[in-house]
Structure 1
Amino acid sequence: MQDKKAIVLCANMYEERELWYPYYRLQEAGLEVELVGAEEGTYTGKAGLPCKVDKQISQINAEEVDAVIIPGGFAPDSLRRNQQILNVIKKVNNNGGLIAAICHGPWLLVSADIISGKHITCFWAIIDDVKNAGAHYEDREVIRDGNIVTSRIPHDLPEFMKECLTVLQD
Structure 2
Amino acid sequence: MAKIAAVLADQFEDIEFTRPKKAYEDAGHTVEVVGLEEGTVTGKHGEQVQVDVKVSNADYDAYDALFIAGGFSPDILRADDEMVEFAKQFMDDMKPVFTICHGPQLLINTKTLDGRDITGYKSILVDLENAGAKLHDTSVFVCQNQLVSSRTPDDLDDFEKASVELLQEKGL
Task: Give the structure-1-normalised TM-score.
Answer: 0.95
Gaps of 5+ in 2: none
1:105 to 103, 106, 109: 103
Unaligned stretches of 5+ residues in structure 1: none
For the 8 Å contact 1:70–1:101, the answer to whether it is kept is: yes
Runs of 4+ in 1 over 4 A off after TM superposition: none
- SS, match of residue 48 in structure 1: coil
* Mapping of residues 150-169 of structure 1, within 5 Å: 150-169=149-168
The separation in 1 between residues aligned to 2:62 and 2:92, in whole angstroms, is 13
Separation in 2 of the partners of 1:36 and 1:45?
15
Compute the displacement of 1:94 (Å): 2.4
1:78-97 paired onto structure 2 within 5 Å: 78-97=76-95
Question: C-alpha distance in 1, partners of 2:126/2:92?
Answer: 25
Q: Which residue of 2 aligns with 1:121?
A: 119
1:50 is aligned, of 48, 51, 59, to: 48
**Structure 2 CA distance for aligned equivalents of residues 142 and 13 of structure 1:** 23
Matched ranges for 1:3-152 at <5 A: 4-146=2-144, 147-152=146-151
Compare 67-76 and 25-34 and name the one that shifted more: 25-34
Give the AA of the match of 1:20. Answer: T
Aligned-pair Cα RMSD in Å: 1.0
